[in-house]
Amino acid sequence: MSQSQPPASDTAAPPLTGTLHILPFGGGSLAARVAGIYSSTLEHDAVAGDPRNVLVLKRLPTAIDEFAASLRDEAGLEGRPNVKSLPRHATAVVEEAEPELTRLSYEERIEFLARVLDGYDWSSYFERASEHDSFGRDVGQLLLDATWNGGFGVTVAADTGADADANADAGLGADEAVDTESDVTSESDGSATDDDHDYDDYLRELADVNASFHDHLAERNLAEQAQTIERAIAALEREAIRERIEREFDAVLVVEYEECGDLDREYLRALTRNVDLICVAEEHASIERTKTEVGSVRRFADELEIVDHTADAALERETDAIPGVASDGGTAATQPDTVSEPGRVGQPFGAFLATGRPTRRGENGESAEPEVHGTTTAARVISEPTLDQQVETVANEIEYLRQEQGLEYEDVAVLLRSIGNPAPRVRRVLQHAGVPTASAGVNGLEQDLAVRELHALAQYHIDDRERAYELLAARVPDLTEDLVQRCVVRNSVSKSLKRWIVTTDLKRRIAEEADPIDAREQFRNVSRLLSIAEFVDEQDILAGDWIQFVTMLERAITYDAPYAHTAEVAVPEGGVTVGDVGLVKHDSRRAVFLLNVVDGEYPGSEPLSPLFPTAWIKRMDDYPAVTNPSPEAVAETYATVDVEEITDNAFERYHAERTRRQLAIGARAAEEHLYFCTYRQTDGSVGRLQHRSRYLHAIDEHPHSALSLADLGGADVPDRDLYTLGSASAEILSQPWNALETVQAEASTGGEVALESTEETLAAIQRVLEESDDVDLRFERAVETQFDLARGAIRPESGEGGGSGGSSESGVSGESGKCGKCGESGESGGSGGSGGSDRSERVDDGGRRDDDKLGGNGGGETR
């Protein structure tokens, strides 16, 4: 056992006893759905009607304050109910038991782990892998997942490194290890594989690294946050600690029990030995636990008495074989009522994706038909050529909903399947379009101007003085070398940063230059940087200088922490919510945009970890995720699967159905407007071709009216006007190319071109550029450059007034007005020009000549 873990008692905690309420898949307000159960808990004799005596534990750390406020309103309480996330409560237990212990922040964990990884004697396989830049991040993420789930479950052997070296030397490279899945064993037959290699050897090596890391922390009385629940379990084995904790409550109500993993359930066993336990789970809704455990929530009832609120209890008699299941199918009069909000446009989509049918059955088995709105279109599909264009269209639609439908930014959510690489990019595109964003779990350090300023300050004190000074001068008025030096506090990075912040009035500059929601985020990020700097100053194992600070900061920017591994998450108010679907699992928004609904994402592939090929992971029995499910386990976990459908693809099907359920969770959050968003290629013509998700096709093919789809910009939903500055700018910049393509297309077939509308459009652009004082000169030059390039200029030239050589061909002139720096009737308004006529001759098949005026290419010839 690792020295970093307090010794636990040999006496195992008793099984979970109490009540488990199973609710049908529904979504909406979690507080509304559990209020009746909470009220009945208040009536327990031990509770005596006092809300302070009921501890409510929410498994996921999202929206704790909002849930508590809603539960207070739904239950008619005067004060706030005693609500905490399960990880947050475990943290309080550890603080009670070990007040001297310091828990590392995520950035601090990264730095300590990096030192352990750099000094570890790796086997040859990992030694080769460590040459990749992402090695530290990939190992760190896998160790984090394993620690949150109680470890790898393998025995650390003394000769782990030697065994792994031997296996690696035998030629088991990452690219050659596995050829087919036919020799992968399913858990149902237990037969041996043809390959004698034990892939768990690699996990034993990683387990040894993790133990070394935790021992390294324990020597300094530190612990990582992922150890919290495990340490809390050990603390509750101490009678004095458990008695002090139990004084705070007489009953425990656990919501989102469907997301409780093995370690969570062990914590609940230790916590509720002497008090009433009431759990509430939603069927077909687990998206976190199912990554690591197969099976429906019923499998983990332990000795809890099940009170079934679903129709399946009445329709499926096999539940009678489960000890403790109510035989009346959940219709007993003693059952609290459950509430699901009707009329949400996303509800039938979520129900279909999660259960295979667009309607759910009510508590007594009756069909609960969704309320269909006046329009026949329940959801819209956004299809664009690239990922960025998809997000730009989303931004324009958000502004349309604000201006035409009365929505506010906080009424909207833009959701991804998971927090990862595209999330910061999505935020950046939305923000550039003028849409403020609020996010949880999306690292905002990289794009934060205040963070860049402090990073430049650190670089100034290292070796990049000239470039750093330029960056600082662009941010700080009247910057001098003397000012920079006056902010230095000897032997303290954190005090130097604080002096810079005060001396240059950074907080005031942030408040003046940024919108309120962006300013709040910048303030939080500055606080994070100061915490990193203080850590650098205080830890004796660190150099305590600017180089160490920059190293930690750059690692923090590179590695982003998923919020599922935190104690509590709050989404700032005032902007469009950007995050993963789990963020709104028991929440809703008036409008929901589900991004990247393509086959590469839903279902996509489940690599689990870049450290190993998927085929290796399938053979790792102790990997901290589902790696080798049986067909029966897949069918038990997901109502959308029949066991007969699965042949040799149980792993792929299991994780594919998990992504389908994630899509269901996101879709059901939409109250009034639901959008499925797709793109064809990641980055223009060079990106990988993407197809609409198979689940979107399944929705489209379903005959139920509540599942109708319509393409935005199609026959049923016409193209929107331009509502964002980004869309308007892009449209203006594309005008010369659109005009040129129209003329070229007609000329190639000998057709006629009507230029009146084009002339009117370009003249309107010209008037905006000339008459508005708010147009940035850089944008005006960009417009003129596009006209120059469209007419055939190889390199735009600067002319008088910031124009493009004063060329008349940079626009269109005619009776409707002047454009593109042209004079009236096509006379050039500048000097230079392109040496060609501002008229375009078009000759059709009959030899007729047309002299419509056109800003064509340099030679005045349309090709």
- Residues contacting residue 143 through CB under 8 Å, at least 6 positions apart: 113, 206, 209, 210, 213
- Residues contacting residue 267 through CB under 8 Å, at least 6 positions apart: 86, 90, 229, 232, 233, 236
> What is the pLDDT at residue 42?
95
307-343 pLDDT per residue, tens:
999 865 444 433 333 233 333 333 333 334 434 445 7
Q: Give Cα 181 to chain centroid, integer Å.
A: 31
**From CA 216, how far away is CA 52, in angstroms rounded?**
40
**Pairing of β 303-308 and β 367-368:** unpaired
The CA-CA-CA angle for residues 631, 632, 636, to 5°, reads 120
> What is the pLDDT at residue 312?
55
**From CA 469, how far away is CA 482, in angstroms rounded?**
12
User: Which tokens in the block code for residue 391?
Assistant: 């997000």
**From CA 338, how far away is CA 332, in angstroms rounded?**
13
Strands of 63-211 (E only): list them.
82-85, 102-103
Q: Are 836 and 849 in contact (CB under 8 A)?
A: no
Which H or E run contains 383?
A: strand 379-386
Residue 825 has pLDDT above 60, yes or no: no
Residue 366 has pLDDT above 50, yes or no: no
**From CA 519, how far away is CA 522, in angstroms rounded?**
5
- Residues contacting residue 613 through CB under 8 Å, at least 6 positions apart: 174, 175, 177, 178
pLDDT-derived band at 24 (thresholds 50, 70, 90) equals very high
Residue 363 has pLDDT above 50, yes or no: no
- The pair phi, psi for residue 56, each rounded to 5°, is -100, 120
**From CA 661, how far away is CA 284, in angstroms rounded?**
8
- Residues contacting residue 54 through CB under 8 Å, at least 6 positions apart: 38, 41, 42, 47, 81, 82, 249, 250, 251, 252, 253
- Report the residue count for the chain: 863
369-390 pLDDT per residue, tens:
544 444 456 899 999 999 999 9
> What is the pLDDT at residue 571?
62
**Pairing of β 842-843 and β 849-850:** antiparallel
- The pair phi, psi for residue 634, each rounded to 5°, is -65, -45
Alpha helices in 223-292 (DSSP H): 228-236, 239-246, 262-271
User: Which tokens in the block code for residue 200?
Assistant: 């768990």
> What is the pLDDT at residue 684?
56
**Pick from 631-635, 690-694, 808-812: least confident:** 808-812
User: Which tokens in the block code for residue 395?
Assistant: 């931004």
> What is the pLDDT at residue 848?
40
- Residues contacting residue 452 through CB under 8 Å, at least 6 positions apart: 471
The CA-CA-CA angle for residues 356, 358, 363, to 5°, reads 95
**What secondary structure letter does DSSP report for 46?**
T
AA letter at 417: R
**From CA 111, how far away is CA 458, in angstroms rounded?**
18
Burial 327-337 (b: 16+ CB within 10 A, else e): eebbeeeebbe
> What is the pLDDT at residue 52?
94
CA dihedral 293, 298, 300, 303 (to 10 degrees): -170
721-754 pLDDT per residue, tens:
776 766 556 665 565 656 656 665 565 555 666 6
In the structure, how many helices (H) and strands (E) does the chain have?
29, 19
Closest CA to 128 of 202, 189, 19: 202
**From CA 641, how far away is CA 622, in angstroms rounded?**
25
**Pick from 502-511, 571-580, 687-696: least confident:** 571-580
pLDDT-derived band at 635 (thresholds 50, 70, 90) equals very high
Q: How far is CA 676 from CA 566, 679, 703, in A?
A: 29, 10, 18
- β-bridge mates for residue 413, sequence order: 577, 592
**From CA 3, how far away is CA 21, in angstroms rounded?**
39
SS3 assignment, position 492: coil
**Pairing of β 379-386 and β 303-308:** unpaired
**From CA 417, how far away is CA 291, in angstroms rounded?**
14
**From CA 669, how far away is CA 226, in angstroms rounded?**
29
> What is the pLDDT at residue 2?
39
pTM to 2 decimals? Answer: 0.75
Closest CA to 693 of 707, 705, 678, 712: 678
**What secondary structure letter does DSSP report for 692?**
B
Cis before 603 (ω within 30):
yes
682/678: higher pLDDT: 678
Alpha helices in 720-809 (DSSP H): 725-749, 756-771, 777-790
Which H or E run contains 711?
A: strand 709-711
Report the half-sphere exposure of 231 (CA within 13 A, side-chain side): 31
DSSP assignments along 624-648, one per residue = SS--S--HHHHHHH-TT--GGG-SS
**From CA 676, how far away is CA 377, in angstroms rounded?**
13
Which H or E run contains 521?
A: helix 516-538
Which H or E run contains 361?
A: strand 360-361
535-567 pLDDT per residue, tens:
999 887 888 899 999 988 888 777 654 444 455
**From CA 664, how far away is CA 350, in angstroms rounded?**
4
**From CA 528, how far away is CA 454, in angstroms rounded?**
12
Q: How far is CA 553 from CA 445, 468, 520, in A?
A: 9, 16, 20
696/448: higher pLDDT: 696
pLDDT-derived band at 449 (thresholds 50, 70, 90) equals confident
User: Which tokens in the block code for residue 786?
Assistant: 């596009």
Residue 286 has pLDDT above 70, yes or no: yes
> What is the pLDDT at residue 749?
59
Which H or E run contains 772?
A: none
Q: Are 224 and 104 in contact (CB under 8 A)?
A: yes
**From CA 296, how far away is CA 815, in angstroms rounded?**
72
**From CA 750, how far away is CA 848, in angstroms rounded?**
10
Domains, the chain, in order of start with CATH, read 17-100+228-341 (3.40.50.300), 105-221 (no CATH), 379-441+572-594+622-711 (3.40.50.300), 449-559 (no CATH), 725-850 (no CATH)
769/186: higher pLDDT: 769
Backbone region of residue 817 per phi and psi (left: phi > 0; alpha: psi in -120 to 50; beta: other values): left
**Pick from 417-426, 444-453, 842-851: least confident:** 842-851
- β-bridge mates for residue 577, sequence order: 413, 438
- β-bridge mates for residue 380, sequence order: 675, 710
Strands of 132-267 (E only): list them.
222-223, 251-255
What average pLDDT does range 522-538 have in this prediction?
90
Q: Give Cα 552 to chain centroid, integer Å.
A: 23
- The pair phi, psi for residue 255, each rounded to 5°, is -105, 160
- β-bridge mates for residue 529, sequence order: none
What average pLDDT does range 87-103 have in this prediction?
95
Q: How far is CA 173 from CA 550, 614, 851, in A?
A: 35, 13, 69
Alpha helices in 624-720 (DSSP H): 631-637, 650-667, 694-701
AA letter at 643: V
- Residues contacting residue 269 through CB under 8 Å, at least 6 positions apart: 13, 14, 15, 16
> What is the pLDDT at residue 211?
95
- Sign of dihedral through CA atoms 189, 190, 191, 195? positive
